[in-house]
Structure 1
Amino acid sequence: MKLHLTLIMTLLYGFLQAQDKIALYSVIPNLKDTANIEKNTPELYSYIPQEIKHSKIFLILPGGGYTHHAMDHEGHQVAKRLNEQGYCAFVLKYRLPTSKQQIDKRIAPIEDAQRALIVVKEYVKGLKIKKPKFGVLGFSAGGHLASTLSTHFASDYNHQNLSSKDLRPDFSVLVYPVISMEDGVTHNGSKTNLIGPDFQPEDVIRFSNEKNINKKTPPAYLIHAKDDKAVPIENSLRYQNELNKYKIPNYLFVYEKGGHGFGMNNKQEPLDWFENMLEWLENVKL
């Protein structure tokens, strides 16, 4: 009976962890008066392990082509695996860009990502972690948003008078990320949903994040498969090449096979990018 009760309490603890939702805004910005955002409200979930073993904090951004969120295998499952190893993690369901709801749909996702980073930093103060380092982990279109967060930190999209230091992640992990908005390299669906359907040259440049890298861009760990037909590996290669120009620490974990959207588990190859990524982060200077 006691063992049965312990099992129930353990399961309940895990369930409560997944349900720990943190308010992101008191008032959601960049919203049209007529917008119905019931199904497109930003949400932030915290995953705090019973024993915190590491000082690195992860903000996770699931992919979905800026049309939906792969919240399970690119969000909650990732946070749980990090928890198992003693890392704190947060999963963001950012707003999907739509001109029906937002005054400027192009910046709705990055508004939420920047706000989430600030909220996470404030939240973690209560955990009394010594010298925490805050990173962003994004998949596919979430990888594009993660790279936007990692390169647009000089712009305070929420107009809160925050500095680059406040808005800059300490590291980024980009999993089969959309990086560029240029034709032939980008993922056309993500591009259309974020800055289309009428593409302005300045927007293509603005959201091609390999063009926004400078000497202050944080170190990055990238993961991509050579046979990814949805988001060509050229995206990760361009980001890495620009990081190398500024001698910013980085690593590109390459699969020969795997396609797109495999999350943490590439069933076509035995190598585990996730464990390799954690080892790299524990050894790189941030």
Structure 2
Amino acid sequence: MIDRRSALIGSLAAAAGAGFAGRAGAQTAPPHIEGGDVPAWPQPTETIDLWPDGAPGAPATPFEERVTERSEDGEVNDRAVDHVAVPRMAVFKPWRPNGASMLIMPGGGYIRVVIDREGYEMAQWLAERGFTCFVLFYRLPGEGWAAGPDVSLSDAQRAMRLIRHRAVDYAVDPARVSAMGFSAGGHLCADLATRFDARTYDAVDDADKLSARPQVAAPIYPVMTMKRPYAHEGSRTALIGADAGATLETAHSPDRNVKDNTPPCFLCHAEDDPAVPVENTLLFRAALKAKGVPVETHLFEHGGHGFAMRRVIGKPAGRWPELFLNWARTHEVLI
């Protein structure tokens, strides 16, 4: 007996072999240090450029992508990239796809994008559990792009639509595309969840006819409010400027933009976070509850900031990925 789920995934997987070969072109390599990368973990071999004719609204002066290795431990990488001129997704395929997919948005304070700790490691963990994962390297708002504070959201919206547009290529269910983000990437995840239908760029192809709404969203220890005293000053300055007024603050604070159709959200944060106060998560939770949006919230006594998975091994906060999976099942992310 073959159930409906197995039949769907099997047909998608069969189509993927035929479909991808005809649609893949030369794509930009994942961020790397030219001649200097020493990856400690398997690296993605496939990427998807977001914009077929180059990202819109490019700065007048071109720049080159820069990758920095911050780890002093040869057993793990902790790279970060800035000057992202070609926004793209790094793809992690599961051995047995379950039809679910995840767009992952690493943090970096909107001045860089973390590669390993909040990107590849999470993607590999989810891929081992059947998710097809797409790690997003998004443009940064302080680097002169015409879209300004909306430039990262433009890339997140476009990424969601491309995943759905190429669902057959990757054996995923277009209805089960979710989003997860960390720190400033958590802000981007929440921004996507609350403003997925905002027009931040002009359509470029048929993919842009599709919805950018995630099935569920998981902002993890997120930057949320742009309003003091709880705003993360570095992210706030990078996104809207140190002297931004109330209008800009509200426009770019996801807790002020929750709507009835915001997707269900999974939140987690450490109470001892020294960088992004836990109030950021609490403000978003309150806004979701006020609109009747389903939300699950986990607050941990210890964890600090930027813990992802590796920094909370053996601690209660280290259970959050499994808590997310259990919650995701209740919202039919996994079927």
Residue identity opposite 2:326 in structure 1: E
Offset of residue 242 of structure 1: 1.1
The 5 A counterparts of 1:91-240 are 91-99=135-143, 101-130=144-173, 132-160=175-203, 162=208, 166-240=211-285
In the aligned structure 2, how far is the partner of 1:285 from the partner of 1:103?
38
Task: Choose from 228, 241, 252 the match for 2:297.
Answer: 252
One-letter identity of the residue aligned with 1:79 = A
Question: Is the deviation greater in 24-33 or in 134-143?
Answer: 24-33
Aligned residue for 2:10? none
Structure 2 SS opposite 1:173: strand
C-alpha separation between the residues in 1 aligned to 2:64 and 2:253? 28
Partners of 1:257 and 1:268 within 8 A in 2: no
Q: Specify the alignment match of 1:3 in structure 2.
A: none
Match of 2:104, as an amino acid? I
Which residue matches 2:94?
49
Q: Write the distance in 1 (CA, Å) between the matches of 2:274 and 2:47.
A: 35
- Segments of 5+ residues of structure 2 without an aligned counterpart are 1-40, 66-82
For the residues of structure 1 that align with 2:173 and 2:234, how far apart are their CA atoms? 41
8 Å Cα contact 2:266-2:297 kept in structure 1: yes
Amino acid at match of 2:155: D
Report the alpha carbon displacement of residue 267 of structure 1 after superposing the two structures with TM: 4.1
**Aligned partners of 1:219 and 1:249 also within 8 Å:** yes
Mean alpha-carbon deviation: is it higher for 126-135 or for 216-225? 126-135
Deviation at 1:268, TM superposition (A): 6.9
Q: Could you say which residue in structure 2 is the equivalent of 1:28? A: 55
**DSSP 3-state at the match of 2:167:** helix
What does residue 77 of structure 1 align with? Answer: 121
Contact 1:173–1:222 (CA under 8 A) maintained in structure 2: yes
Q: Where do 4+ consecutive residues of structure 1 move more than 6 Å? A: none
Task: Go from structure 1 to structure 2 and tell me whether the alpha carbon gap of 1:130 and 1:116 turns closer, same or farther (over 3 Å shift).
Answer: closer
Return the offset for 1:35.
Answer: 3.1
Which whole-Å CA distance do the structure 2 matches of 1:282 and 1:180 have between them? 29
Tell me how far apart the structure 2 counterparts of residues 173 and 249 of structure 1 sit (CA, whole Å): 12
Deviates further, 86-95 or 165-174: 165-174
- CA displacement at 1:156 relative to structure 2: 2.0
| The one of 130, 134, 148 aligned to 1:90 | 134
**Distance change in 2, residues 1:112/1:262 (3 Å):** same
Residues 57 and 132 of structure 1 are in contact (CA less than 8 Å); yes or no, is this contact kept in structure 2? no
Structure 1 residue 130 displacement after superposition: 4.7
**Offset of residue 154 of structure 1:** 2.5
Residue 277 of structure 1: aligned partner: 324
**3-state DSSP of counterpart to 2:268:** strand
2:32 aligned partner:
none
1:230-267 Cα distance to aligned partner (Å, 9 max, x none): 11111111111111112211111110111101002424
Amino acid at match of 2:95: Q
In structure 2, distance between residues paired with 1:268 and 1:226 = 17
Computed over aligned residues only, the root mean square deviation of the Cα atoms, in angstroms, reads 1.9
- 1:63 aligned to which of 80, 86, 107: 107
TM-superposed CA distance for 1:129, in Å, is 3.7
Alpha-carbon distance between aligned partners in 2 of 1:285 and 1:245, rounded to the nearest angstrom: 23
1:52 Cα shift?
0.8
Shift of residue 116 of structure 1? 1.0
Q: Is the 8 A contact 2:132 2:170 kept in 1?
A: no
- The 3-state SS of whatever aligns with 1:222 is strand
In the alignment, the residues of structure 2 paired with residue 131 and residue 191 of structure 1 have an alpha-carbon distance, to the nearest angstrom, of: 33
Task: Mark the CA change 1:128 to 1:90 in structure 2 (over 3 Å): closer, same or farther.
Answer: closer
SS in 1 for 2:329: helix
